[in-house]
């Protein structure tokens, strides 16, 4: 763990957040019994083996053995650094993270801070250059972009020339602002372009998009390369500006370019974002759904736009949980959001939005164009094409709606054969959502019970004599008891966190995910006492054998060993 954030704060943070809410916002969960389940996001599988415990506040995959608490999930799923995950959870609770004084960040963090500073200075430089360059200002005016909108998005200008950008060359090269040649010399990556800062969720400048002003220049758009700050498949242009400008977000428009976002904002549509030169992925869609449950994908009506829309649909399916809605808007061929709203205005754009297709309507219309459903073969082909998309949808009520739509489109009721084609008559076996059978030894069960209810450890002694018993796993049990005696009020997730990076970490999470063989929580204390009694008997038996072996070897026992021998045989049962 990092020394920068006090452990007491991290413990309190984990106690206050609900891991089910944290994970469910990113990965749809289904409740089965006491636990919540999903297909594991960390390895490919078709049946649910990823378990989330609301009581113990941790997740565990019985397939790949991936485990952790809410912080661990954010680090693995959202690819966050440890401190960033802490800040994200703290922000969700509306609290500030206290940092310990006198603890300098590790060197990589110092480098990151310097890179952030270099990027912010570059953004300020480009904005200052825009104010001094009339051709660039005229270009924006001709595109209908006002000075206020340009300011809201911190649009700047990179002047012509090879050595304009200034700062620490080491970090400018690292972030891609400078390109280093084989002879060691550097030159500016961006020249004679409008500059659009790309900001992360905290508003820090992490990259740039540069757009040509002269149509003769190429390429039309030039993005910063991947860097320690910037991973384009994880970022969304305009999301920070959107959240800053709008409090109650009713819908988010996903477009394909910076100018689409800026032009829509100029005309009062403040909730548009754009991908960064790549097709949108499920992580980005999940991030947007966490902000607003109503997404509208805006594409050109040409072949490229339809291809992009279909990729977006495929990425949406797994995220369609309760209340979420995805729609698809296709503008007339040759038009994009920028050109359309600039030419026809917001009212006409809003009219187009009202006619946007729902995800299911778009899915059906697209598949029906490929299949002749007037024939039996065509109906089977349609269902076969629909199945892989249908199976990805986690929301049963939506699947039921799709089945109703299938009946309407095909003009016949759903029968068992059609259900088989859609995979609906093959429910996941219960074994797919149950923990594997566990062989319970007294040591393993005692650890499991302590992880389920840490308070059990406060009512028992140290049992340090067991350290010499040779019983497998007893050393780990004693370590846990030591922690519980020092921290009697510790929670399960914080107890597990004490073993972060330890050789026993994976084993402990696996044990904690097992349900002990008890009928109710009231019997936990009795079962724990039985485990300790059984371990005590094993210790006595082990120690008796040691002392007998010493006597049989002809070696005399010490006075202490004689006393111990008498007590052990007096306690023999």
pLDDT in tens, 39-60: 998 887 878 899 999 888 999 9
Asked whether the beta carbons of 317 and 392 are under 8 A apart, the reply is yes
Within a 10 A sphere around the Cβ of 388, how many other Cβ atoms?
Answer: 11
Q: Predicted confidence band at 278 (pLDDT cuts at 50, 70, 90)?
A: confident
Beta strand 193-199 pairing with 205-212: antiparallel
Structure tokens at 30: 């289904």
In sign, the C-alpha dihedral spanning 17, 23, 24, 25 is: positive
For the chain, the average pLDDT equals 85
- How far is residue 399 CA from its own chain's centroid? 25
In sign, the C-alpha dihedral spanning 132, 142, 344, 239 is: negative
Among 144, 151, 153, residue whose Cα is nearest residue 258: 153
Classify residue 65 by its DSSP letter: -
Give residue 134's pLDDT.
95
In sign, the C-alpha dihedral spanning 391, 395, 399, 402 is: negative
Q: Predicted confidence band at 564 (pLDDT cuts at 50, 70, 90)?
A: low
- DSSP-derived secondary structure for 310-352: HHHHHHHGGG--TT-EEEEEEPPTT--HHHHHHHHHHHHHHHH
Token look-up 């939506």 returns 398
Q: State yes or no: pLDDT of 312 exceeds 50.
A: yes
Q: What is the pLDDT of residues 137-158, one digit of tens each?
A: 999 999 999 999 999 999 999 9
Q: State yes or no: pLDDT of 435 exceeds 80.
A: no
Token look-up 């947007």 returns 288
- Residue 492 CA to residue 369 CA, distance in Å, equals 54
Give residue 175's pLDDT.
94
Angle at 100 between CA 95 and CA 102, to 5 degrees: 150
Give residue 428's pLDDT.
37
Asked whether the beta carbons of 315 and 280 are under 8 A apart, the reply is yes
Span 225-253, average pLDDT: 90
List the domains of the chain with CATH numbers. Answer: 7-93 (3.90.580.10), 107-223 (3.90.980.10), 239-364 (3.40.1360.10), 370-432 (no CATH), 442-570 (1.10.860.10)
Span 509-538, average pLDDT: 83
Span 245-272, average pLDDT: 93
Give residue 91's pLDDT.
81
Q: Predicted confidence band at 345 (pLDDT cuts at 50, 70, 90)?
A: very high
Classify residue 228 by its DSSP letter: S
Span 1-8, average pLDDT: 69
Q: State yes or no: pLDDT of 28 exceeds 80.
A: yes
- How far is residue 120 CA from its own chain's centroid? 27
* Residue bearing the bigger pLDDT, 17 or 411: 17
* CA terminus-to-terminus distance, the chain: 47
Structure tokens at 299: 């594409």
Q: Predicted confidence band at 251 (pLDDT cuts at 50, 70, 90)?
A: very high
Q: Predicted confidence band at 423 (pLDDT cuts at 50, 70, 90)?
A: low
Give percent of the chain above pLDDT 90: 37
Bond from prior residue into 219 cis (ω within 30 degrees of 0): yes
Write out the H or E segment, with its range, that includes residue 205. strand 205-212
- Residue 333 CA to residue 209 CA, distance in Å, equals 26
Q: State yes or no: pLDDT of 102 exceeds 60.
A: no
Within a 10 A sphere around the Cβ of 116, how many other Cβ atoms?
Answer: 18
Q: Predicted confidence band at 417 (pLDDT cuts at 50, 70, 90)?
A: low
Write out the H or E segment, with its range, that includes residue 198. strand 193-199
Among 337, 430, 339, 456, residue whose Cα is nearest residue 33: 430
Give residue 434's pLDDT.
44
Among 515, 451, 510, 514, residue whose Cα is nearest residue 66: 510
Give percent of the chain above pLDDT 70: 90
Q: Predicted confidence band at 86 (pLDDT cuts at 50, 70, 90)?
A: very high
Give residue 431's pLDDT.
37
CA Rg value for the chain: 31
Among 331, 387, 326, residue whose Cα is nearest residue 360: 326
Angle at 286 between CA 280 and CA 287, to 5 degrees: 90
Give residue 414's pLDDT.
62
Q: State yes or no: pLDDT of 184 exceeds 60.
A: yes
Q: State yes or no: pLDDT of 110 exceeds 60.
A: no
Span 88-115, average pLDDT: 70
Span 551-570, average pLDDT: 71
pTM here is: 0.61
Q: State yes or no: pLDDT of 427 exceeds 60.
A: no
Which phi and psi (to 5°) does residue 195 adopt? -115, 125
Write out the H or E segment, with its range, that includes residue 258. helix 258-266
| Range from 410-424, 458-472, 491-505, 536-550 carrying the lowest mean pLDDT | 410-424
Give residue 430's pLDDT.
36
Q: State yes or no: pLDDT of 350 exceeds 90.
A: yes
- Residue 228 CA to residue 112 CA, distance in Å, equals 8
Q: Predicted confidence band at 177 (pLDDT cuts at 50, 70, 90)?
A: very high
Q: Predicted confidence band at 568 (pLDDT cuts at 50, 70, 90)?
A: low
Q: State yes or no: pLDDT of 1 exceeds 50.
A: no
Span 493-503, average pLDDT: 89
Q: Predicted confidence band at 81 (pLDDT cuts at 50, 70, 90)?
A: confident
């Amino acid at each position: 763990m990092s020394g920068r954030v006090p452990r007491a704060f991290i413990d309190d943070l984990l106690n206050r957040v609900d891991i089910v809410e944290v994970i469910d916002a990113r990965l749809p969960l289904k409740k089965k019994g006491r636990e919540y389940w999903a297909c594991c996001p960390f390895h490919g599988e078709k049946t649910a083996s990823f378990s989330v415990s609301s009581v113990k506040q941790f997740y565990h995959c019985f397939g790949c053995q991936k485990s952790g608490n809410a912080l661990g999930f954010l680090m693995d799923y959202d690819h966050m650094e440890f401190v960033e995950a802490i800040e994200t959870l703290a922000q969700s609770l509306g609290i500030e993270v206290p940092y310990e004084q006198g603890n300098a960040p590790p060197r990589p963090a110092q480098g990151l801070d310097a890179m952030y500073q270099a990027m912010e200075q570059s953004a300020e430089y480009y904005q200052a250059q825009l104010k001094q360059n009339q051709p660039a200002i005229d270009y924006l005016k001709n595109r209908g972009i006002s000075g206020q909108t340009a300011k809201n998005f911190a649009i700047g200008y990179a002047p012509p020339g090879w050595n304009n950008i200034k700062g620490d060359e080491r970090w400018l090269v690292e972030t891609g602002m400078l390109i280093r040649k084989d002879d060691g010399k550097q030159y500016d990556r961006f020249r004679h372009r409008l500059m659009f800062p790309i900001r992360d969720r905290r508003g820090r400048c992490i990259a740039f998009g540069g757009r040509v002003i002269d149509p003769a220049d190429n390429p039309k758009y030039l993005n910063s390369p991947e860097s320690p700050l910037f991973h384009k498949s994880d970022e969304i242009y305009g999301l920070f500006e959107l959240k800053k400008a709008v409090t109650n977000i009713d819908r988010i428009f996903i477009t394909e370019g910076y100018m689409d976002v800026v032009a829509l904002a100029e005309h009062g549509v403040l909730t548009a974002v754009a991908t960064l030169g790549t097709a949108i992925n499920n992580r980005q869609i999940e991030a947007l759904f966490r902000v607003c449950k109503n997404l509208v994908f805006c594409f050109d009506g040409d072949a490229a736009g339809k291809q992009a829309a279909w990729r977006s649909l495929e990425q949406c399916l797994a995220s369609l949980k309760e209340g979420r809605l995805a729609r698809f808007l296709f503008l007339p061929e040759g038009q994009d959001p920028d050109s359309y709203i600039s030419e026809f205005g917001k009212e006409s754009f809003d009219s187009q939005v009202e006619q946007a297709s729902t995800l299911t309507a778009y899915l059906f219309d697209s598949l029906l164009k490929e299949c002749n459903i007037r024939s039996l073969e065509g109906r089977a082909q349609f269902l076969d094409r629909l199945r892989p998309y249908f199976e990805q949808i986690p929301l049963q009520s939506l699947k039921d709606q799709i089945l109703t739509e299938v009946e309407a489109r095909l003009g016949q009721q759903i029968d068992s054969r059609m259900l088989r084609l859609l995979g609906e008559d093959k429910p996941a076996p219960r074994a797919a959502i149950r923990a594997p059978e566990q062989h319970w030894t007294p040591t393993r069960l005692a650890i499991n019970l302590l992880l389920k209810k840490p308070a059990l450890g406060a009512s028992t002694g140290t049992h340090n004599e067991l350290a010499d018993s040779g019983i497998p796993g007893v050393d780990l049990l004693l370590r846990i008891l030591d922690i519980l005696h020092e921290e009697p009020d510790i929670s399960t997730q914080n107890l597990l966190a004490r073993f972060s990076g330890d050789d026993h970490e994976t084993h402990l999470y696996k044990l904690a995910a097992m349900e002990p063989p008890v009928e109710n929580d009231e019997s936990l204390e009795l079962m724990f006492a039985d485990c300790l009694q059984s371990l005590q008997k094993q210790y006595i038996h082990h120690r008796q054998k040691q002392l007998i072996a010493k006597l049989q070897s002809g070696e005399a026992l010490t006075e202490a060993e004689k006393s111990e021998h008498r007590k052990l045989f007096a306690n023999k049962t």
